[in-house]
Chain A
Amino acid sequence: MIPGPFDYHSPATLDEAVALLGQNGDAKILAGGQSLIPAMRFRLALPEILIDINGIAGLDGIAEAGDKLVIGGLTRESALEVSDLVQQKYPLLADTARVIADPLVRNLATVGGNLAHADPANDHPATMLAYDAEVVARGPNGERVIAIDEFFTGLFETSLGSNEILTEVRIPQPSAGSGGAYVKLERKVGDYAISAIAVQLTLDGDAVSAARIGLTNVSPVPIRSPGAEQALIGSSPTDEVLEATGQAAAAECDPSADLRGSVEYKRDLTRVLTKRAVARAVERAKGGSA
């Protein structure tokens, strides 16, 4: 199907892009296009102006700076997959990137677009919630930093202003004794999650000293599960603790019934996947690799 009509701009600089966003009319950023173009083809989205940011230099990249991993907003999923830094030091992120869509989509889809789209079915929101990441937004008044806990405000809604561009995602470098994992169940390769769990935790001796748990596609807005985090923090991850953690996540999620399953099924799956993700994160924390 053919999208509705629009005016297309491909600015060479961020300032130009921000100025274009401030024009009259319903303007949207075009990044990887892998969510926006399908929505436009179904005319679920009918922007009047598209601002293609693919021609802006310096918006992609993966590098550590200070105590953060800095990922440019336009960084492709395929770049995360081949980054040694990500593969070695950020296993939660590495796990996530390789299960997003399929290789063809990942060659275009961007990390910034995945977050800005705020689709509860997208995989990066849960991962960035678990990492306690920050999002950097650039608008007419310059740059501001948004904590990920403040970022997702509704279904497909974020705290980005209509004239702001997401330029970076910053992930705190994991401290010693940390581990993370993303565990997703999908119907087939390339599909969105039935449920998926992102865990990032730190061990102090045998006990979990810090943990953040994000849930994918089992609520209208990407969420953490504070109950699951509390069940884990301060305890050693025994079978009983894992079960309590899984049950807390199952209780706190809010899935809806659809082609991917009933509410009961998704809740129980969330319980099981939470246990698996925590177990894998603990294993990695003990193994010394973030």
Chain B
Amino acid sequence: MSRHTITVNVNGEDITREVDARNLLVHFIREDLDLTGTHIGCDTTSCGACTVLLDGRAVKSCTVFAVQANGRSVETIEALAADGNLHPLQEGFWEKHGLQCGYCTPGMIMSAKHLLEENPDPTEEEIRWGISGNLCRCTGYNKIVEAIQYAAEQQKEAEA
């Protein structure tokens, strides 16, 4: 099996490591880099708990090989409150009770971040569609939708 030296920009910092070809990106993030905010919820590419941004696009990091991230950027949930202040999305999940057990939350937030970057003013329908790759077994989704609406409002106000 081949091994590869990869350099990945993770949350703004270039990181170089050696990986086996078969290492999944989610294992690289959690085990090699100790960034355990990204979760693993299934073995079937179904749940979205492992969602990260790869070159700005939301993907399931359990279904990408780490070696494929060579020369690219990865953003995980840890990047959001990097300066100690909650990101508007995190604030929204706090304010609107967008979580119960919290297992799905990092993935939900990363999907929502991509959604709001592409569409800063989404309708409720567009939000539900945008997070349809992320499963939540607790909330029933309504509070998650409200949390994302809250973040969209905050971001609009900050820009105004």
Taking beta carbons and an 8 Å cutoff, which residues of A are in contact with B? 1-8, 10, 30, 33-34, 37-38, 40-42, 50, 52, 54, 78, 101-105, 107-108, 189-190
Q: Within 8 Å CB of B27, what residues of A?
A: 2
Judged by a CB distance under 8 angstroms, whether B48 is at the interface is yes
Q: Within 8 Å CB of B58, what residues of A?
A: 103-104, 107
How far is it, in angstroms, between the C-alpha of A237 and the C-alpha of B51 when the chains are bound?
46
Beta-carbon nearest neighbor of A78 in chain B = B57
CB contact list, B17-61 vs A, under 8 A = 20-22, 24, 27, 43-46, 48, 51, 57-60
Contact pick for B129, options A37, A54, A103, CB 8 Å: A103
Beta-carbon nearest neighbor of A4 in chain B = B22
Judged by a CB distance under 8 angstroms, whether B65 is at the interface is yes
How far is it, in angstroms, between the C-alpha of A1 and the C-alpha of B129 when the chains are bound?
28
Q: Are A107 and B59 in contact (CB under 8 A)?
A: yes
With A30-B68, A103-B111 given, name 14 new contacts (CB 8 A): A1-B43, A3-B22, A6-B21, A8-B4, A8-B65, A37-B63, A52-B68, A54-B68, A103-B133, A104-B48, A105-B133, A107-B59, A108-B63, A190-B133
Judged by a CB distance under 8 angstroms, whether B149 is at the interface is no
A-B interface pairs (CB < 8 A), number: 81
Judged by a CB distance under 8 angstroms, whether B64 is at the interface is yes
Q: Within 8 Å CB of B63, what residues of A?
A: 33-34, 37-38, 105, 108
Bitwise interface map of B from 106 to 118 toward A, beta carbon under 8 Å scored 1, else 0: 0000010000000
Contact pick for B46, options A10, A33, A103, A190, CB 8 Å: A190
How far is it, in angstroms, between the C-alpha of A50 and the C-alpha of B21 when the chains are bound?
9
Judged by a CB distance under 8 angstroms, whether B10 is at the interface is no
Query: Assuming A7-B2, A8-B2, A189-B132, is B64 touching A108 (CB within 8 A)?
Result: yes
How far is it, in angstroms, between the C-alpha of A141 and the C-alpha of B70 when the chains are bound?
32
Q: Are B132 and A103 in contact (CB under 8 A)?
A: yes
Query: Assuming A2-B22, A6-B22, A8-B2, is B67 touching A102 (CB within 8 A)?
Result: no
Judged by a CB distance under 8 angstroms, whether B130 is at the interface is yes
Question: Closest Cβ of chain B: how far from A41's Cβ, in Å?
Answer: 6
How far is it, in angstroms, between the C-alpha of A52 and the C-alpha of B67 when the chains are bound?
10
Beta-carbon nearest neighbor of B45 in chain A = A38
